[in-house]
Homo-oligomer: A and B are copies of this chain.
Amino acid sequence: MIEQFIFEFFAAIGTIAFAVSGAFKGIRHRLDVLGVLVLAFVTAIGGGLVRDALLHRTPAVFIDIWPALFALVGCLLALLSNMLSKERILSWTNPESRTFLILDAIGLAAFTVTGAKLGAVSGLNIFGIILLAAITGVGGGVIRDMLVGEIPLVLNADFYATATLIGGFVFGVLYMYNFATPWPSILSFIVTLSLRLLAIWRGWKLPVL
């Protein structure tokens, strides 16, 4: 129970952080208020929507109202931060700031575990588990970038989706070898988060061919 609560807390952080990154991208592209709102929501909940469509579940966000509220909080934070940018208040919401990247990494790891877990309990193969982890973790960001006509960041920058894929793989393997709950979740979370934080810290990039 306690680990369930901690994961939901991390997922809430992730939802807020993802919404912030979407809203900032909308502001930078000079979208109107609605466009900013849409980009915030798409980034925060888009990956989960695609995942749920593939698993033919009713999207979690349509039943449980909290993620939508967290996304709204993230959107408002970004708007506020943008208005106050001269005073450098809320500067941690800036998607380039170190603090933001860490919050975003926590969200990425939490989303990865959520996706992998749903895939595993649906009886998918290891490829399905990894793919659902990745879609949950980075799918929202991909749709966000496509909406504003950019090549999705995860395709050509940083060590970001790779952390998710490895985290999903860890979950899948542990689950298949019958590790007791919640160990697959905890280890997958730690691996994803550590890899992403290392990547931020060391400036890891994947090679271009």
Contact among B34, B62, B125, B142 with A155 in the assembled complex (CB-CB below 8 Å): B34
**Known contacts A53-B54, A61-B128, A126-B65; is-contact A162 B34 (Cβ 8 Å):** yes
Judged by a CB distance under 8 angstroms, whether A99 is at the interface is no
**Known contacts A32-B206, A33-B207, A206-B34; is-contact A62 B148 (Cβ 8 Å):** no
Judged by a CB distance under 8 angstroms, whether A36 is at the interface is yes
Complex Cα gap A196–B33 (Å): 17
Q: For A54, what are the chain B residues with a Cβ–Cβ distance below 8 Å?
A: 49, 52-53, 59, 62
Total interface residues on A, CB under 8 Å, equals 58
Comparing A23-31, A108-116, A180-188, the segment that makes contact with chain B is A23-31
Q: For A34, what are the chain B residues with a Cβ–Cβ distance below 8 Å?
A: 154-155, 161-162, 165, 206
Q: For A205, what are the chain B residues with a Cβ–Cβ distance below 8 Å?
A: 32
Complex Cα gap A75–B17 (Å): 33
Judged by a CB distance under 8 angstroms, whether A82 is at the interface is yes
Complex Cα gap A205–B34 (Å): 10
Given A53-B53, A53-B56, 6 new contacts (CB under 8 A): A31-B151, A34-B165, A35-B154, A54-B59, A61-B128, A149-B150
Q: Would you mind naming 28 contact pairs between A and B with Cβ atoms under 8 Å apart? A: A26-B155, A29-B151, A30-B208, A31-B155, A31-B208, A32-B156, A34-B155, A34-B206, A35-B155, A52-B54, A53-B56, A55-B58, A56-B57, A56-B58, A58-B122, A59-B128, A62-B119, A62-B125, A62-B131, A63-B125, A63-B128, A65-B125, A65-B126, A142-B147, A146-B146, A146-B147, A148-B155, A149-B150
Chain A residues proximal to chain B, CB less than 8 Å: 26-27, 29-36, 38-39, 49, 52-59, 61-65, 68, 79, 82, 119, 122-128, 131, 142, 146-152, 154-157, 161-162, 165, 205-209
